[in-house]
Chains A and B, each alone.
Chain A
Amino acid sequence: MTALWQLSARQLARLVQSGEVSARELARTFLDRVDRLDPALRAFVDHRGERALADADAVDAALARGEPVGPLAGVPVAWKDNLVRRGEVTSAGSRMLASYRSPFTATALQRLEAAGAVLLGRTNMDEFGMGSSTENSAHGPTRNPWQPDCVPGGSSGGSAAAVAADLCPLAVGSDTGGSVRQPAALCGVVGLKPSYGRVSRSGLIAYASSLDCVGVLARTVDDAALWLRCTAGSDPGDPTSAAEALPEFAVEARPDLRGLRIGLPWELNGPGLADEIEAVLADARAQLRTLGAELVECSLPHVSVAVPTYYLLAMAEAASNLARYDGVRYGFRGAASGSCEAMTTASRSSGFGAEVQRRLLLGTFALSCGYQDEYYGKATQARERLREDFRRAFAGCDLLVSPTSPVPAFPLGSRIDDPLAMYLCDALTVPASLAGLPALSQPCGRTAAGLPVGLQWMAPPRREDLLLQAAHVFERHTDHHLPRALP
């Protein structure tokens, strides 16, 4: 018999709605797994324990009264430590906010709770989202459930590891340059980054505002779609949230991929890939053909400058976004005597980790007088070119695919001292981020060592429907998503 923890979020919600299982039983089941498995993994930085059980009881009570409960009734959901929830600590993986409690709740979390979800706990991340391995966390690193010596990817590594280890069926993440998709690939789960503006950023601790997207880690494509339906939609709290509503669509609408032209941008499908990734992807492409898709070669010429473009823009915005952490009103305050300036310097020099300080200094430089045109200005132009590349590519095909990560999960500590090698982990995910496109990573095979490999899908702006339908076809006809990392 299938255990509760092996079921999808949709299946679990149905069991709760029909009264076969109580929300408390679900919360208990997953909290027990967290207690048993997480001390070794460290996917969570904190779980809500009794408070989660109390929330589950509230769902059960509502059901008992015959009140309507949402499509996520009783489903335990973890969330990345950079989405605030009223009264809870939100640290963004930083010493700077180690004891910071928010007076309000992120819109995405509010909507999940309104849909009946039970918030289980916060997951680990690279400090302020800056990293691709979850090693840059004030809480220490998270381990990959498939291979404990390896990283889970990042920055939403805690959320990816939690879902991969079945500590929760859904975990909220955030994706600025690949922070949902890359850890999803390295942990063998589904990772969805919606279109920019699709899910409100209100309550998401900003890294780079023009790129930040709230996303989700899930076991199945259908669960990712379910999550999107519950969280998408405009929000007065986020002036960049999209006005147009998510279209009504069924994930299982397509029996196969016939009639779809799938583009293979050669810049993302060859250069710099590890051999074992290339081999798995070749099989995946063959599978797409078998499912009826027409695969076409295409080109995104400006992908060659996507990584420097991304890092310039993200660091510049970060330097401004993180200026508020000055030790004056909240957060870590460094010991300093004399001037306010000395206090702010001390607070930032010891409140932020090394990678955050590196990015803030580079970002400040990229915006400074005399260099702004050369760096920030050029990057803004390059971003426009890349958007244009995508417009051209989508004129000739419906969707694009590539590997999600050029490498599988790598050993802890192997890249942390080489920022450039770490930045190149994002080479395949940053193009969709820069263009604001919806993108998804799903498991598509394994390396000889048994490490998961991710297939990345990219769709035209606001075409999450197409993205999720195609990925769902691939999932239904393959079994890469089925193996469990931990019993």
Chain B
Amino acid sequence: MNAFTTVIGLEVHVQLATQSKLFSPAPAAALGEPNSRVHAIDLGLPGVLPRPNATAIELAVRTALALDGQIQPVSRFARKNYFYPDLPKGYQISQFEEPICRGGAVPIGDGRSCRLQRIHLEEDAGKLTHSDAGTLVDLNRAGMPLVEIVGEPDLRSPAEAHAFLHHLREILRHAGVSDCDLELGSMRCDANISLMPAGSTQLGTKVELKNLNSLKMVQRALEYEERRQTAVLAAGGRIAAETRGWNDEAGESRPQRSKENAPDYRYFPDPDLPPLVVDEATIERQRQLLGELPERRRARYRGRFALPEHDVVALTQDRAVGDWFEALVAAGVDAKTASNWTIGEVLPAQRDLGVALADFPLPPPQLAELLALLADGTLTQVTARKVFRHLCTHRVPARVAVRELGLARLDDPAALQPLVAAALAALPEAAAAVQAGKERALDALKGHVMRQTKGRADPDLVDRLLRAAIAALGPR
């Protein structure tokens, strides 16, 4: 068996979903023309002072609540000093000795969890683009609000690291604090990994891994590092304390900086910012807004709605999906129908339209009207889907759409009788088969009638009329 135990701790930066930056009124959107989302404060112009964004602080509080951390009633912003062209002030405003939250935990499955050391607020730096012509500085990202979530070294495998990030992302998306997109950088992860002899409690020398831009990359990089360190140690070598960058194409990490060369950040409390005070009312408000976390919601869907596991998982991957489903139920749709339509119709249609659920053209109350027409027999499954697709592009009430499309159910025997006769005339062998006792042949006849009526005929009525007509033909 493996002679070493792997020890992993993650540090995750999450970009908070605010309208403006952490200390300036510039829009918090890293995209757009370079340097178009930049205020004098973000440029570090002479005479500017930071203006704390209350929403960012509230979202940090909500993050702390979602991860079960202890919110500190008083915390402090500190300056992290270093020179770099993407850092306009020559320092980053962060939190050091007094973070906004201590402790907390992230579930990693099977009822286990990884402890958190702290969560703190900080501003992002800008972005450099190196080219042959020189280095270009884009400060759109400078000043974006981040929380840094620092995990304890509780993880024992790359798979656990993957589970940590998966759960963290799910929780924070539900909490509405961030979209947590690793590819787009709204969630960024650095991993510390060390190996120690199995059974030991003395942690080994750790290596920090950077440039991990997806959940899979995190796992791959850690697996690689686990193998590399095992080989070094097994050969009697020593691990260098260093920062390594992951190169996903090459499938390997490369040394970036040794710990001896680590800069001295000269942290000190930022004298431009008074202590950050979080009062009980703010915490209470954020607790309300946090709502239900995914694990609890899944339990409720299994219990109260008695939904199958497939539905439970599909409905709780995103808070908005669950909310949509519950809005349908609240509008009177039964749970299983609401689940089927949410997963089977609404989500694919939403993807096709390329809009957020919130902007979906058919909000839950209107969809509930449509489903009521299905329930009362006005529509069949087939025609209900047709009306649904129509309503995705036409803003009219469901009943109007049914009329416009002429899709109301045909349940007048007098109107259906000629169609039944026509079916028997068109498919005499099928009629004969039924007479001979082959029940399944009836389906061909039914299908004929349904095609003629474009799915509008009441299937039960057609069944009855066909049987009666065949019986009326008399014995062969």
Answer yes or no: are A and B bound together in one complex: yes
* Pair A323/B89 contact, Cβ less than 8 Å: yes
Name B250-281 residues within 8 Å CB distance of A. 264, 266, 268, 270-274
- Bound Cα distance from A367 to B82, whole angstroms: 12
A320 touches B268 (CB 8 A): yes
> What 0/1 pattern do residues 28 to 55 of B give for CB contact below 8 A with A?
0000000000001001111111111000
Q: Is the CB of B79 within 8 A of A320?
A: yes
- Are A237 and B264 also in contact (CB < 8 A) when A84-B46, A326-B90 are? no
The reply to whether A103 and B45 contact each other, CB–CB distance below 8 Å, is yes
Q: A328-B137, A364-B266, A368-B264 are in contact. Are A106 and B47 (CB under 8 A)?
A: yes
Q: How many residues of A contact B (CB 8 A)?
A: 44
Q: Are A372 and B266 in contact (CB under 8 A)?
A: yes
Contact with B along A68-107 (1 / 0, CB 8 A): 0000000000000001100000101000010010111010
Instruction: Tell me if A240 and B274 are in contact (CB < 8 A).
Output: yes
Stretch of A112-120, A155-163, A204-212, A405-413 with 4 or more beta carbons under 8 angstroms from chain B: A204-212
Q: Which residues of A contact B90 (CB under 8 A)?
A: 320, 322-324, 326
Interface residue? A329 (CB, 8 A): yes
Min CB–CB distance B47 → chain A (angstroms): 4
**Chain A CB within 8 A of B317 CB:** no
Q: Which residue of B lies closest to A330 (CB)?
A: B45
Q: Is the interface of A mostly helix, strand, loop or mixed?
A: loop
B27 at the interface (CB under 8 A from A): no
Interface membership of A238, Cβ < 8 A: yes
Residues of chain B lying within 8 A (CB to CB) of residue A181: none
B305 contacts partner chain A, Cβ-Cβ < 8 Å: no
CA distance A97 to B45 in the complex (A): 11
Most buried by B among A202, A238, A328: A328
**Given A90-B46, A323-B83, CB of A367 within 8 Å of CB of B135:** no
Q: How many whole Å from B208's CB to the nearest CB in chain A?
A: 19
Check if B88 is an interface residue, CB within 8 A of chain A. Answer: yes
B44 and A324 form a contact (CB under 8 A)? yes
List A281-314 residues whose CB lies under 8 Å from chain B.
none
Complex Cα distance A318/B12, Å?
A: 32
Does A352 sit within 8 A of B, measured CB to CB? no
Most chain A beta-carbon contacts within 10 A, residue among B48, B81, B91: B48
The distance in angstroms between the C-alpha atoms of A206 and B44, with both chains bound, is 11
Quick one: which of A166-210 are within 8 Å of B by CB? 201-206, 208-210
Contacts of B51 in A (CB 8 A): 236-237, 239
Note all chain A residues with C-beta closer than 8 A to B81.
319-320, 323, 367
Cβ-based interface call for A44 (8 A) = no
**Chain A 9-41 residues near chain B, CB threshold 8 A:** none
From B40, B268, B273, B274, A103 is in contact (CB under 8 Å) with B40
Q: How far is the CA of A201 from the CA of B85 in the complex (A)?
A: 26
B272 in contact with A239 (CB, 8 Å): yes
Contact of B88 among A106, A236, A324 (CB under 8 A): A324
Contact across chains for A203 and B47 when beta carbons are under 8 A apart = yes
Q: A238 to chain B: which residues have CB within 8 Å?
A: 49
Inside 8 A of A236's CB, which chain B residues have their CB? 51
- Chain B residues lying within 8 Å of A92, measured Cβ to Cβ, are 46
Partner of A323, one of B46, B91, B273: B91
The reply on A475 being an interface residue by CB < 8 A is no
A227 at the interface (CB under 8 A from B): no
* Nearest neighbor of A97 in chain B, beta-carbon distance: B46
Chain B residues in 8 Å Cβ range of A344: 83
Q: Which chain B residue lies CB-closest to A377?
A: B268
Interface string of A205-245 (1 = CB under 8 A from B): 11011100000000000000000000000001111100000
- A236, closest chain B residue (CB): B51
Count of chain B residues near A, Cβ 8 A: 29
Q: 1/0 contact trace for B48-89 toward A, CB 8 Å? A: 111110000000000000000000000000010101010011
Contact partner, A102, options B46, B49, B83, B85, Cβ 8 Å: B46
B-chain residues with CB within 8 Å of residue A367 when the two chains form the complex = 81, 266, 268
Within the complex, which residue of B44, B46, B50 is in contact with A239, where a contact is CB–CB below 8 Å?
Answer: B50
* Bound form: Cα–Cα A203–B49 in Å: 8
Q: Is A376 an interface residue (CB 8 A)?
A: yes
Q: Inside 8 A of A104's CB, which chain B residues have their CB?
A: 40, 45, 47
The answer, yes or no, to whether A449 is at the interface (CB within 8 Å) is: no
A238 to B48, CA, bound (A): 9
Q: Are B268 and A316 closer than 8 Å at their CB atoms?
A: yes
Contact B266 A329 (CB under 8 A): no
Distance (whole angstroms) from the CB of B239 to the closest CB of chain A: 24
In whole angstroms, what is the CA distance A486 to B90 when docked?
45
CB of B266 within 8 A of CB of A202, answer: no
Nearest CB of A to B138, in Å: 12
In Å, the complex CA distance between A104 and B39 comes to: 11
CA distance A104 to B51 in the complex (A): 15
Residue pair A329, B88 in contact (C-beta under 8 Å): yes
B343 CB to nearest chain A CB (Å): 47
The answer to the question of A340 belonging to the interface, with a C-beta cut-off of 8 Å to chain B, is yes
**Chain A residue contacts of B46, Cβ below 8 A:** 84, 90, 92, 97, 100, 102, 205-206, 324
Residues of B within 8 A of A204 (CB): 47
Instruction: Tell whether A317 is near chain B: CB-to-CB under 8 Å.
Output: yes
A463 and B274 CA atoms in complex are apart in Å by 21
Interface positions of B from 217 to 273, Cβ below 8 Å from A: 264, 266, 268, 270-273
**A320 and B43 in contact (CB under 8 A), knowing A239-B52, A240-B274, A376-B268?**
no
Chain A residues with CB under 8 A of B137: 328-329
Q: Are B264 and A369 in contact (CB under 8 A)?
A: yes
> Across the interface, do B274 and A239 meet the contact criterion of CB distance under 8 Å?
yes
Which B residues are in CB contact (< 8 Å) with A330? 43, 45
Q: Is A384 at the interface (CB under 8 A from chain B)?
A: no
Of chain A, the residue at the smallest CB distance from B41 is A237
A378 to chain B, nearest CB (A): 13
| CB-nearest residue of chain B to A92 | B46
Distance in angstroms between the alpha carbons of A92 and B45 in the assembled complex = 13
A341 contacts the other chain (CB 8 A) = yes
8 Å CB interface, B410-424 against A: none
Give A85 Cβ to nearest chain B Cβ, in Å.
10
- Determine if B47 and A102 form an interchain contact, defined as CB atoms under 8 angstroms apart: yes
A372 to B268, CA, bound (A): 9
Cα of A210 to Cα of B274 in the assembled complex, Å:
10
Nearest residue, chain A, Cβ from B50: A239
Give chain A residues whose Cβ lies under 8 Å from the Cβ of B85. 326, 328, 340
> With A103-B40, A320-B266 given, is the CB distance from A240 to B47 under 8 Å?
no
| Residues on B with beta carbons closer than 8 Å to the beta carbon of A203 | 47
Give the residues from 361 to 416 in chain A that come closer than 8 angstroms, CB to CB, to chain B: 364, 367-369, 372, 376
Cα A317 to Cα B91 with chains together (Å): 12
Shortest Cβ distance from residue B22 to the other chain A in the assembled complex, whole angstroms: 12
Q: Which partner residue on chain A sits nearest B77 by CB separation?
A: A239
Given A210-B271, A328-B85, A368-B266 in contact, is the A201-B49 Cβ separation under 8 Å? yes
Report the 4 A-B pairs with minimum CB-CB distance, sorted nearest first. Answer: A323-B90, A210-B271, A209-B271, A367-B266
B interface list, Cβ under 8 A from A: 40, 43-52, 79, 81, 83, 85, 88-91, 135, 137, 264, 266, 268, 270-274
Q: List 23 A-B contacts (CB under 8 A).
A: A104-B47, A201-B49, A202-B47, A203-B47, A205-B46, A206-B47, A206-B272, A209-B271, A237-B51, A239-B272, A240-B272, A240-B273, A319-B266, A320-B91, A320-B266, A322-B90, A324-B44, A326-B85, A328-B137, A329-B43, A330-B43, A340-B135, A372-B266
What 16 additional pairs, Cβ within 8 angstroms, besides A202-B48, A206-B46, A340-B85?
Answer: A84-B46, A106-B47, A204-B47, A205-B46, A210-B271, A238-B49, A240-B271, A320-B90, A320-B266, A323-B83, A323-B91, A324-B90, A330-B45, A367-B268, A368-B266, A376-B268
